Amino acid sequence: MSYVPTIGLEVHAQLNTNTKMFCPCRANYGEEPNTLVCPVCLGLPGAMPVLNGGAIEQTILTGLMLGCEINPVSTWDRKNYFYPDMPKNFQLTQMDLPLCLGGGVPLYELAYPKDAQKTILNPGKVVRLNRIHLEEDVGKSTHHASYTSVDFNRAGTPLMEIVTEPDLDTAEEVVAYLGSLRQILVYGGVSDADMEKGQMRCDVNISVRPEGTTELGEKIELKNLNSPSAIRRAIHYEVERQIGVLEDGGTLKQSTWRWDDDRGETLEMRSKENSDDYRYFPEPDLLPVHTATLKAKAEARLPELPHQKEVRFVEAYGLTPYDASVLASEGALADWYEQSAKGHPAPKKVANWVTNNLLGQLNETSLEITDCPISPQALGALVTLVEDAAVNGNQAKEVFHSLWETPREDVAALAIEMGFEPADDSEVEAIIDEVLAANAEVVAEIQSGNPKAAGRLVGLVMKQSGGKANPRMVSESIAAKLA
């Protein structure tokens, strides 16, 4: 029997705020343990929470970017459970009236794993969202050989929970969803969403059902997965495990499991809790939030999103959809390209240099675009030199590497200093005439219907000119002379 997996996600993303959700403690990463705490985030008796308006605005902004409906009134609830890194033994969250409802996340093709980008089953898919609510993060437990230490610095940090509908079909779509969502959160400036730093974490709900049926199978939750590659491995394993249980005549029960990356398998933690187990009740110390004013502020901050920027790059700069998607994949990269291409006579050529040369060099040197030693204006000037036939392609690459090592803005002067002055047009024409006269057989081959043979003549001209001639202009001249 064939089985169909169904996957839903609960993604937790820390917000970029200066302070925590309900107290004035700084929300910083990497500080000494238990130094960013106060009576409120430690849950001491009598401490009263105060709402962080910036965190609410950023959550509403996220909802607007993802096409959610913003609840006009939103309330707070207590989710009761005991865990060592939850100092109050309850979590302030939103159950009944979350800030955002509905919406969806478009899956960007470049967010899929590279080995899956050519076999995408549902191009252009949008994963529906159920809700986005705001809550406080818990502390961090570190398990040692014979004891566990708890750091409460993270406790109380504003945390969005973004919940999908069960819309995902494969592990590859899950990776694409996480990558696409991260792009949008970073574009909006609401979260850095760095999974390695715990700023974005993911719980995965998986069920399988016989093909041809519609009723979903029993849901198994995988907790606290911390990297796209681990999530992909975990989903593939868990789907096969569930199918194996059913094929052997067993049954599945709703439960929570964890992924052991070292062992490459999922391990059961506990039976799955339902909402009744958490004994939700309205938070008595916080008033409802009327969202109209914060929504208006968030609307004024709405950015151009990656898929919107991609369309504009195609229309405004004549880029291919692929090049546009590469350049729009990061906000900083898109801004860098636009600074170089805006007003440039050959924006598509600028894009080619960014995607083919600049990104390769950044990757090779492990630098981000924000650390690029070459300025956008210098790259634009280099492309202009190539287009004006002041340097040829190979010379331009040498100038590029010189700019990388010693950044400067006077690119044309640098090219001359490097000995790349273009050859005199009359001198080049004389060389072309000489090469044509000395290679009658190649000329005859071209005139008999083999234009590719002209490449040999271009090579000879380049050699005799000492590499100073422009290959494109030489090719065009030869074609004109032999027409």
Helices (H), 211-356: 228-247, 292-300, 306-317, 321-328, 331-341, 347-353
Please give the mean pLDDT across all residues of the chain.
Answer: 93
Q: What is the pLDDT of residue 13?
A: 96
Distance separating alpha carbons of residues 173 and 3, to the nearest angstrom:
17
Name the segment(s) of the chain with CATH classification 1.10.10.410.
425-481
> How much of the chain, in percent, has pLDDT values that exceed 70?
98
Average pLDDT over residues 467-473: 74
Contact 468, 425 (CB under 8 A): no
Confidence of residue 453 (pLDDT cuts 50, 70, 90): confident
Q: What is the pLDDT of residue 1?
A: 81
Residue 65 has pLDDT above 80, yes or no: yes
3-state secondary structure of 134: strand
Going 301 to 306 to 307 to 309, the CA torsion angle's sign is positive
**CATH class for the region spanning 425-481:** mainly alpha
Lowest mean pLDDT among 108-117, 128-137, 187-196, 468-477: 468-477
Could you report the per-residue pLDDT of 201-233, keeping only the tens digit for each? 999 999 999 999 999 999 999 986 889 999 999
Q: What is the pLDDT of residue 465?
A: 78
C-alpha distances out from residue 52 to 20, 134, 210, 413, Å: 7, 11, 47, 54
Burial classification of residue 337, based on how many CB atoms lie within 10 Å of its CB (0-12 exposed, 13-18 middle, 19 or more buried): buried
Residue 259's H or E segment, with its range, is: strand 255-260
Q: What is the pTM of this model?
A: 0.87
Distance separating alpha carbons of residues 21 and 91, to the nearest angstrom:
12
With left for phi above 0 and alpha for psi between -120 and 50, is residue 79 left, alpha or beta? beta
Lowest mean pLDDT among 37-51, 150-164, 408-422: 408-422
Residue 426 has pLDDT above 80, yes or no: no
Lowest mean pLDDT among 180-194, 238-252, 418-432: 418-432
Q: What is the pLDDT of residue 423?
A: 62
Lowest mean pLDDT among 44-48, 134-138, 197-201, 362-366: 197-201
Distance separating alpha carbons of residues 264 and 260, to the nearest angstrom:
6
C-alpha distances out from residue 267 to 146, 167, 185, 227, 260, Å: 22, 25, 31, 18, 7
C-alpha distances out from residue 445 to 321, 430, 452, 471, Å: 38, 22, 9, 20
Q: What is the pLDDT of residue 275?
A: 66
Q: What is the pLDDT of residue 296?
A: 98
Q: What is the pLDDT of residue 390?
A: 85
Contact 34, 151 (CB under 8 A): yes
Distance separating alpha carbons of residues 135 and 75, to the nearest angstrom:
11
Q: What is the pLDDT of residue 252?
A: 93
Lowest mean pLDDT among 19-28, 316-325, 379-388, 390-399: 390-399
Residue 273 has pLDDT above 80, yes or no: no
Residue 307's H or E segment, with its range, is: helix 306-317
Confidence of residue 272 (pLDDT cuts 50, 70, 90): low
Going 167 to 171 to 173 to 177, the CA torsion angle's sign is positive
3-state secondary structure of 148: strand
Q: What is the pLDDT of residue 424?
A: 66
Distance separating alpha carbons of residues 379 and 352, to the nearest angstrom:
11
Q: What is the pLDDT of residue 461?
A: 82
Lowest mean pLDDT among 156-165, 179-188, 407-416, 430-439: 430-439
Residue 422 has pLDDT above 80, yes or no: no
Q: What is the pLDDT of residue 212?
A: 92
Q: How many CB atoms lie within 10 A of CB 413?
A: 10
Burial classification of residue 114, based on how many CB atoms lie within 10 Å of its CB (0-12 exposed, 13-18 middle, 19 or more buried): exposed
Average pLDDT over residues 245-272: 91
Average pLDDT over residues 341-370: 96
Confidence of residue 476 (pLDDT cuts 50, 70, 90): confident
